[in-house]
Amino acid sequence: MKTKIHKFEQNGTYILLDVNSGAVHVIDRMIYDLMDTFDGANDEETVSRWGGIYGADEVREAVGELHELMELGELFAPDIDVPPTFQQTGLVKSLCLMVAQDCNLRCKYCFGDGGSYGGERAVMSEEVGRAAVDYIISHCGPRKHCEIDFFGGEPLLNLSTVKAVTEYVRQREQETGKIFKLTLTTNGMLLNEKNIRWLNDNHISLVLSLDGRREVHDRMRPDAGGHGTYDRVLKNFRALVESRGGQDYYLRGTYTKENMDFTKDVLDIHAQGFDILSVEPVVLKDSPLGFTEEDLPRIYEEYDRLTEAYLERHRAGKGFFFFHFNMDLSNGPCVAKRLAGCGAGHEYYAVAENGDLYPCHQFVGREKYKLGDVFTGVRNRELPQYFRESHVLNKELCSDCWARFFCSGGCHANADLFHGDIRKPYEVGCAIQKKRLECAILVQAVMALERMGDDKNEAVSS
């Protein structure tokens, strides 16, 4: 039988997640224990196992409550199979343009070899960029919303192509009725008043890279000459965020083995005036900066600390938006989306500087994953289908994982990096993902209880 429930304790609160319905229940210690035994049809066994500790009448009452949940479809909900809404083949809705396979920084953990992706440093021509726009329009079917992400390397090294593509996108929107969301990921070095104005006027969302405290950032993100970049990028990010009224940006950082106390980095970023942020574990194989199983207890501890700090600030009216704690427990994505996951290789492709298509930006340069190019389209028919079918229900480890409908099967690129197989998730990544999800569910549960006008300790008396 597939895992149907997940129970956990996070920051002193007990939580029961019903995996197949997505229902989240805040429970007391007794229910937490009972769920070791209760399977929906063994009331007497449960009473005799736990009656001695909690009292038979109490246990009966609690079992009664569990049956109420079952009747509502919020406990032991039926297994989810691939629904008909999950189309056999994907429609392309999103492209990542490697507008500059070149970079002005030398980040210690860069997977793209200083932006070059193992090849020559090069930039994308306007012609390739426009062909990519046409490609997405002719392959997105009836879908109205499309996305293009300007990526690199550092995309601002090739602003002329970014501008040409943007102009062409706006023209094609008029002609086709499609709506494009444009995003640009930048290290901030080249931002200036002029290009900030252009980015704002053209409604380009920005993803900004900052690793937290000055010493952490400077150590990990030096420029080509080996000098720290913190002061320079911070100044630019501030100017940028202010110029767009604190909207339409998202600041992200990477933590490594050298800053496992990353709560300090999160809080430092917030203290510098940024409200929309996240930090992420680095993924590196055989590197002193990367993580192994042994690091997990320390990382878990840090997420507990971050959760505490996050809630504290929220309660004091000084909250911020931490991407991974953001979760809409009631209006989350549909099952089809939860299966499609990141969409790499079937709904999402990366376009290399020369126009070659890959399943996603991380696969660029991994030759066996080359799918075709923007001029002649995807010539490899099998791989996109394989990616499409590599969803959570088809991965051995995922199909029985409690996090399957939140995580959607992890990152294919990482699975390929560690196991040479996109269907074998990278285990350390899974462990961190699951911890992060527990924290997010707790945060959302606590906030929901607050909205319900409850004190959680009162409501769930143990």
Partner 1 sequence: MKHIKTVNKPTMQASLKKGGCGECQASCQSACKTSCTVGNQVCESKK
> 357-386: which residues touch ligand SF4 (CB under 6 A)?
360, 362
Alpha-carbon distance of 61 to 361, in angstroms, equals 54
Alpha-carbon distance of 344 to 408, in angstroms, equals 12
Which tokens go with 350?
């990366």
Alpha-carbon distance of 185 to 176, in angstroms, equals 26
Q: Which is nearer to ligand SF4, 237 or 426 (CB)?
A: 426
What mask, x for binding ligand SF4 by CB under 6 A, covers residues 167 to 206?
A: ----------------------------------------
Q: Which is nearer to partner 1, 273 or 332 (CB)?
A: 332
397 interacts with, out of partner 1, ligand SF4, none, CB within 5 to 8 A per kind: ligand SF4
The residue number with the shortest CB distance to ligand SF4 is 410
Alpha-carbon distance of 260 to 257, in angstroms, equals 6
Measured in whole angstroms, the distance separating CA 459 from the mean position of its chain's CA atoms is 32
Alpha-carbon distance of 5 to 16, in angstroms, equals 7
Task: Work out the end-to-end distance of the chain between its first and last CA atoms, rounded to an integer number of angstroms.
Answer: 31
Nearest to 355 by CA among 379, 384, 391, 389: 379
Residue 349: how many CA atoms within 13 Å on its side-chain side?
Answer: 28
86 interacts with, out of partner 1, ligand SF4, none, CB within 5 to 8 A per kind: partner 1
Q: What is the DSSP string of 220-259?
A: HS-BTTS---HHHHHHHHHHHHHHTTT-SEEEEEEE-GGG
**Minimal distance, residue 432 CB to ligand SF4, in Å:** 9
**One-letter identity of residue 418:** F
**Minimal distance, residue 245 CB to ligand SF4, in Å:** 29
Q: Which is nearer to partner 1, 106 or 252 (CB)?
A: 252
Pairing outcome for strands 356-358 and 321-322: unpaired
313 interacts with, out of partner 1, ligand SF4, none, CB within 5 to 8 A per kind: none
211 interacts with, out of partner 1, ligand SF4, none, CB within 5 to 8 A per kind: none
Q: Which is nearer to ligand SF4, 217 or 435 (CB)?
A: 435
6 interacts with, out of ligand SF4, partner 1, none, CB within 5 to 8 A per kind: none
List Cβ neighbours of 189 (8 Å cut-off, separation of 6 or more): 104, 105, 154, 156, 223, 229, 232, 233, 236
Q: Which is nearer to ligand SF4, 191 or 360 (CB)?
A: 360
**Minimal distance, residue 448 CB to partner 1, in Å:** 4
> 395-424: which residues touch ligand SF4 (CB under 6 A)?
395, 397-398, 401, 403-404, 407, 409-413
> 300-359: which residues touch ligand SF4 (CB under 6 A)?
342, 344, 348
The verdict on 445 binding ligand SF4 (CB under 6 A) reads no
- For binding to ligand SF4 (CB under 6 A), which residues are involved? 342, 344, 348, 360, 362, 392, 395, 397-398, 401, 403-404, 407, 409-413, 425, 430, 433-434
